[in-house]
Structure 1
Amino acid sequence: MNRSLRALAALALAVAALGAHAQQQGITDTEILIGDVMPLTGPPALGGIAHNIGVRVAVAEVNAAGGINGRKVRLITEDDGYVNTRTIQAVRKLATVDKVFGITTVSGANQGLAALPVIEQTGVLTFSVMGFSKQLYDPVKKNVFVIGQTYDVLFDDMTTFMAKKYPGRKWGIVSQDDESGEIVREGFERAAKAASLNVVSRQIYKKGQQDFSSEMAKFKHDGGDILIAGGIVNENVAMVKELERLGLKVPMGMFYVGRYPITLELMGAASDGTLWADYVEAETGPKGAAFLERVKKTVSEDEFKRVNRFTLTGYASARTMFEAIRQCGKAVTWACAIDRLEAMRGYDTGVMAPVAFSKTSHFSVQKPIVMEAVYGTRSFKPVP
């Protein structure tokens, strides 16, 4: 009798375990369902489409290799148009209707913050790599992981690099009148203080501003001969064009949010030699070029024309998530994937510095990389 009871108890535990396994959303015996939320329409689609291509390349690679522990990966993509309300709707749909296991990214910083309550409530494993705010990782959010680098560190690193490359210059900085601009200024001022730079011009512009004639005229009047341009795309294009009109050719430093081939096209020949802060490999560097060759084999010719630095972030995000899932073996759960991510030390995606998290930090801080624009090929090359 006792033996029979023990057998029944063991059977009950086995059934319960199988039931718990079956209940993990987004996981079946043959499939792993993931999603991403990004702008696929409107101006921000420049980054969103590129990111999506990177995720799709990662999916294609693992599926071509037989999947993750025998399970094929399927991707559902939602377009939020870079609108907060649509981001919330998209995340809710993926998490509660499609029931995906994980989301590779949630659009930009503001969109991620807007969707955070839904992300935390549903428990869906979520990455943020396109744009992120400190509130997404500090304090630690159990199911949210961020890969990237903060603006202040990027500008600190680039300013320090430029100070060594161009000693004795008179510095100027133009930045935006919002939180992002404040962070840009923080990084620049930290480097300026450490290197005792001669800063002759500090200017702040209004978000959405299009005309920078007065700012560039003041920079020239102040005697500036090296500039940190803290704009996005149109703002930095306008600054470069205005300096060209004034006949002023000076070293300029910018950052990754505007690092697109189309940006160089809009700036024209004056963009040649401009410096850019990033944390992914330069597409023309050894690792970047090798990655693009794989991308070219995966997507159409028209899609390949949409590839940019966000393709690398999309790929890195997806591969990191897949690695955590792989380490869970057959019994894939959110708890296991989170545990594997928190134990991750130096996972090499091949497109940026190794990824690392811990229980106390869900922010993988990536090594800054400075690149130089090459107008002739509308590309960016790594600097020595």
Structure 2
Amino acid sequence: MNWLLRGTLSAALLAIGTAGAMAEPGVTDDKIILGAVDPLTGPPSLLGKAHSLALKVWQADVNARGGINGRMVEIVFEDDGYVPARALQGLKKMIEVDDIFGLIGTSGSSQLAAMMPLINELGIPTLNNMAVNSHHFDPPLNPLFVVGPTYCQEIAAGMKYLVEDLGLKDGKYAIVYQDDEFGDDVRCGYLAGIEKYGLDNVLEVKFKRGQKDFSAEMLRARAAGVNVLVSGGVVAEHSILLKEAAKNRMDITFLGAHSAHLTPVQALAASAGDGYYAADYVPPLTALEVPGVAKFMELTKTYLSDAERDSLNRYSLAGYAGALIFEHAMAECGAGLTRACVIDKLEGLDGFETGGLLGPVTYGKGKRHAPTAVTVLQSNAKDKSFSIVSERMEIE
């Protein structure tokens, strides 16, 4: 082989090697492939379907606007049924088969925990806005960004509202909470409020996940004179507790985390679901005075059917807001889109606005949690809506 042929071959091999080294998973000249793991079947599908519909709306809208620096967005969805092992299995499939670039749907708290080691190992830029727990960011993982307050922070803010706005400092307080990380996080916020305001904590009751009968627990609460109750349930438990309180003719102020901000809770509780409070970091779907809500709801008229629009809930707004954050970071990277660049751009966010869907979003070096702010909502069971009743409370 002469020197010219050898030189040409060496140059070709170098070019191939360089192109291979530069290739980024899920990115081509005209496409970006993203992944989302959501519970799309079973009872938790109430959360996952609403979240995935919002991502579909964002995908359709961003592509209608020309994509991200000319690249169209494609989202691959995997159903984990709210089972951690299935969440990890779905992520592996999206990596090995679909070749995803990033992850913008992470299912529940335990489901994300199961995926975290692989996310960290491969450096997959990931945004979690579905279920926020402190172990998602403490200690921080470089590629994983969390937006929204923890349940602990939500309930602590809700307790502040009960005392400072409703004047319930002299109430008899109780908490009924699920025996898992979620329930412990709700209890964390409850106890923070108890300690901060010197409240009378007369009863704490832990229950098994999936429990359907709370008659004994509410009889204990009535006997203890409870008139303020914090619910550490996920969805159905709120309504059962409310109905038991009504059955026992208890005059009670009820507070739940953002999972209580769902019309199915109102529907299950019927008339007992009127007037309860929920702490949340996104506004109601009906808050059209909020620019981000108005824009999202207008987009849904174009991209969703009437039946799909009926399935929207607060998880839709959280999902849409998260997608806007991820879009901004990808757009900032320009044509040279890489995972490392997106992680860097997310880390650099300082007061990023989402049209009022969330409070200002800020990350930083070693900071992977943006707790944003909390508002308290009140249930209007008759018209299946929620009203904003507090000012936006910044997380301390």
User: What's the TM-score once normalised by structure 1's chain length?
Assistant: 0.92
In 2, are the aligned partners of 1:264 and 1:375 still within 8 Å (CA)?
Answer: yes
Partner SS, residue 215 of structure 1: helix
Give, as a single letter, the amino acid of the residue that structure 1 aligns with 2:149: Q
Matched, 1:254 2:290: no
In 2, are the aligned partners of 1:128 and 1:147 still within 8 Å (CA)?
Answer: yes
Aligned to 1:45: 45
Distance (whole Å) between structure 2 residues aligned to residue 118 and residue 48 of structure 1? 22
Report % sequence identity.
34
Aligned to 1:4: none
Residues 38 and 222 of structure 1: CA distance in aligned 2, closer, same or farther (over 3 Å): same
Equivalent residue for 2:377, pick from 351, 371, 375: 371
In 2, are the aligned partners of 1:101 and 1:124 still within 8 Å (CA)?
Answer: yes
Equivalent residue for 2:313, pick from 300, 308, 313: 308
Aligned to 2:167: 166
Displacement after TM superposition at 1:354 (Å) = 2.1
In 2, are the aligned partners of 1:110 and 1:133 still within 8 Å (CA)?
Answer: no
Aligned to 1:281: 283
Number of paired residues? 375
Aligned to 2:354: 349
Aligned to 1:76: 76
301-310 or 356-365, which deviates more: 356-365
Matched, 1:87 2:93: no
Residues 60 and 54 of structure 1: CA distance in aligned 2, closer, same or farther (over 3 Å): same
Distance (whole Å) between structure 2 residues aligned to residue 83 and residue 169 of structure 1? 39
Residues 372 and 17 of structure 1: CA distance in aligned 2, closer, same or farther (over 3 Å): farther
Residues 84 and 200 of structure 1: CA distance in aligned 2, closer, same or farther (over 3 Å): closer
Aligned to 1:211: 213
Distance (whole Å) between structure 2 residues aligned to residue 136 and residue 25 of structure 1? 24
Aligned to 2:394: none
Give, as a single letter, the amino acid of the residue that structure 2 aligns with 1:342: E
In 1, are the aligned partners of 2:132 and 2:149 still within 8 Å (CA)?
Answer: no
Partner SS, residue 373 of structure 2: coil
Displacement after TM superposition at 1:294 (Å) = 2.5
Distance (whole Å) between structure 2 residues aligned to residue 376 and residue 78 of structure 1? 36
In 1, are the aligned partners of 2:61 and 2:299 still within 8 Å (CA)?
Answer: no
Aligned to 2:139: 139
Aligned Cα RMSD in Å? 2.1
Distance (whole Å) between structure 1 residues aligned to residue 73 and residue 184 of structure 2? 40
Residues 22 and 28 of structure 1: CA distance in aligned 2, closer, same or farther (over 3 Å): farther
Aligned to 2:195: 193
In 1, are the aligned partners of 2:57 and 2:300 still within 8 Å (CA)?
Answer: yes
Q: Which runs of 5+ in 2 are unaligned?
A: 1-7, 391-396
Equivalent residue for 2:300, pick from 275, 278, 295: 295
Matched, 1:157 2:157: yes
Distance (whole Å) between structure 2 residues aligned to residue 256 and residue 232 of structure 1? 9
Residues 200 and 85 of structure 1: CA distance in aligned 2, closer, same or farther (over 3 Å): closer
In 2, are the aligned partners of 1:34 and 1:104 still within 8 Å (CA)?
Answer: yes
Partner SS, residue 377 of structure 1: coil
Report Cα offsets for 1:158-192 as digits up to 9, x if no partner.
Answer: 01101120333222222222332222222112112
Displacement after TM superposition at 1:105 (Å) = 1.7
Displacement after TM superposition at 1:246 (Å) = 1.0
Give, as a single letter, the amino acid of the residue that structure 2 aligns with 1:367: A
Give, as a single letter, the amino acid of the residue that structure 2 aligns with 1:166: G
19-28 or 225-234, which deviates more: 19-28
Displacement after TM superposition at 1:155 (Å) = 0.9
Displacement after TM superposition at 1:121 (Å) = 2.6
Residues 133 and 158 of structure 1: CA distance in aligned 2, closer, same or farther (over 3 Å): closer
Distance (whole Å) between structure 2 residues aligned to residue 273 and residue 290 of structure 1? 28
175-184 or 309-318, which deviates more: 175-184
Give, as a single letter, the amino acid of the residue that structure 2 aligns with 1:34: L
Distance (whole Å) between structure 2 residues aligned to residue 178 and residue 40 of structure 1? 22
278-287 or 197-206, which deviates more: 197-206
Give, as a single letter, the amino acid of the residue that structure 1 aligns with 2:195: K
In 1, are the aligned partners of 2:55 and 2:323 still within 8 Å (CA)?
Answer: yes
Give, as a single letter, the amino acid of the residue that structure 2 aligns with 1:322: E
Aligned to 1:62: 62
Aligned to 1:380: 386
Give, as a single letter, the amino acid of the residue that structure 2 aligns with 1:234: A
Partner SS, residue 312 of structure 2: coil
Partner SS, residue 348 of structure 1: coil
Displacement after TM superposition at 1:15 (Å) = 5.1
Give, as a single letter, the amino acid of the residue that structure 2 aligns with 1:67: G
Matched, 1:335 2:337: no
Distance (whole Å) between structure 2 residues aligned to residue 231 and residue 268 of structure 1? 18
